[in-house]
Structure 1
Amino acid sequence: MYTYKTKGTCSTEINFEVEDNIIKEVNFIRGCSGNLQGISALIKGMNVDDAIDKLEGIDCKGKGTSCPDQLAKALKEWKNK
């Protein structure tokens, strides 16, 4: 399980597991529960690179980031570890 501390969003942390470059599990701490459960369900089983491509750059209310964008950043950090 990999943990990423978010910046600039209502969620404070993202915990996820990747196996063979496929997302196995994603859990957000805090934030909009229903929306984040939906995002987690949609990307489960997705290739890491495809998830980054789909989520990176999504903005929430002009903050310059969002929970999906933070997940893309977390996945990129995981790839570069």
Structure 2
Amino acid sequence: MYTYEPKGVCSRKIDFDIKDNKIVNVSFLGGCNGNLQAISRLVEGLSVDAAIERLKGIDCGGRGTSCPDQFVNALETLVLKK
């Protein structure tokens, strides 16, 4: 299980697993519950690279980041070690 503390967004924690380069068991703590449930379900089963390609750079309210973008940061930092 990976755990990431996002910065600059409403959610406070992102938990997820990677199995065979596929994203599984994604959950966000805090933030916009309905939207974050949707993101979790939509990325379930995606490859790490596909999720990064789809979600990187999404902005929320002019913050320069968003919960999906922070999930990309989590993938790059914890999984890809960038």
Question: TM bucket by the smaller chain?
Answer: over 0.9
Point out where structure 1 has 5 or more consecutive residues left out of the alignment.
Answer: none
Which residue of 2 is the match for residue 51 of structure 1?
51
AA paired with 1:73?
Answer: N
Cα drift, residue 40 of structure 1:
0.3
Please identify runs of 4+ aligned residues in structure 1 that moved more than 4 A: none
CA deviation map 1:5-58 (0-9, x unaligned) = 100000011000001110011000100000000000001000001000100100
TM-score by length of 2: 0.95
Q: Could you say what secondary structure the match of 1:37 adopts? A: helix
RMSD over aligned Cα atoms? 1.0
Q: Could you say what secondary structure the match of 2:11 adopts? A: coil
Work out the percentage of aligned pairs sharing the same amino acid: 56
Which residue of 2 is the match for residue 33 of structure 1?
33
Which residue of 1 is the match for residue 81 of structure 2?
80
AA paired with 1:80?
Answer: K
State the aligned residue count. 81
